[in-house]
Structure 1
């Protein structure tokens, strides 16, 4: 089966990639003020929603793999860290582990990209090359910017979960992070114009 025949409709790809995050937000809004007693232990609504988010994330990522035949390294790392840190939050009844997960994910991404840059390579081009055809020098510039952007996201997440309430952090995670990512790529228009190539260029 070719990559073309395994390409997902846009709505389905969006649902599988962002559906778990939106479900987490809706669940949190509905259950945040509730406490649940399970096996003699009290769990906040946040922890119950986190416990539901973990298998939902695993299932959606698994469906992406089954339907497309591939997952990016970022997707694999993300689902692993969701399982580990989400599981720790539920097991230890400490929501801080789940809140620091985005910081760790973004710092890992920054470290991986930075390691590639030190080797004179753009690992980002291997992940996004099909979507954004660019010359090598363009990829190096974008990779440097992306690494710094990931560091900024990690620092922002740390500041928000440590200095504000859970409501603010959930809104930041659900809406702030995706909007920041969208804004970052929109801001790269000049770079793409300067270093982009036509798909049929040799």
Structure 2
């Protein structure tokens, strides 16, 4: 992987994270500076979320000339449910977005396990190779994580205030980052490394064969 590719991916991830930060800041301004109630502040902040999500997708396309599946899914859901929130003036749709998005991801990942057709293998195999058990375990872990996010989101938005839900939305990014770092250790454990040609036990091709 080249330094240029790393730089582009880093910039795209920064823009993706910036969309969430912009949304959180916009909510804070409308809620605590302008004094709007939580529902109205969420609707007003959704304008920022929709614009920032569109910008993130545009930057991703500009940098890589393609839309990677996961950023496309996240950005697409943000645009769709954000637009519906603005059209119907109902922030419940924005809250449901997190549940629906993560439920679909969980269903796809967990549903692939019986068939041994792991989506992560098709998405990530160009970056690294894992054992069969590694792909299966990684798929299971992320499937359960997405399912847990969907469940927790449902509990929070249905039982807590808008301020608590927005705080949860921000904390979820930190939880996701921490979970991702934890999976790096798992990936390293199950990674297939090319055996050096001069390693003990390595065979030398017979030129006369």
The TM-score, its normalising length taken from structure 2, stands at 0.80
Distance in 1 between the 2:183 and 2:150 partners? 20
Match of residue 166 from structure 1: 162
Deviation, 1:15, is 2.3
Equivalence map 1:148-167=2 (5 Å): 148-167=144-163
Query: Is the Cα–Cα contact under 8 Å of residues 88 and 97 in structure 1 kept in the other structure?
Result: yes
Query: Is the Cα–Cα contact under 8 Å of residues 56 and 75 in structure 2 kept in the other structure?
Result: no
More helix by share: 2
Matched, 1:177 2:176: no
Match of 1:70 among 62, 66, 71: 66
Q: Which runs of 5+ in 2 are unaligned?
A: 197-209
Deviation, 1:153, is 0.6
Match of residue 26 from structure 1: 25
Greater CA drift, 7-16 or 148-157:
7-16
Count residues with an aligned counterpart. 193
Distance in 1 between the 2:69 and 2:11 partners? 20
Match of residue 85 from structure 2: 89
Match of residue 8 from structure 1: 7
Distance in 1 between the 2:128 and 2:166 partners? 31
Structure 1 runs of 4+ aligned residues shifted over 4 Å read 2-7
Query: Is the Cα–Cα contact under 8 Å of residues 16 and 61 in structure 1 kept in the other structure?
Result: no
Deviation, 1:11, is 5.3
The one-character-per-residue Cα deviations of 1:52-97 (angstroms, maximum 9, x if unpaired) are 2112211211111111123222222222221221111111111100
Query: Is the Cα–Cα contact under 8 Å of residues 122 and 139 in structure 1 kept in the other structure?
Result: yes
Question: What is the RMSD of the two structures over their aligned residues, measured on CA atoms?
Answer: 2.6
The TM-score, its normalising length taken from structure 1, stands at 0.83
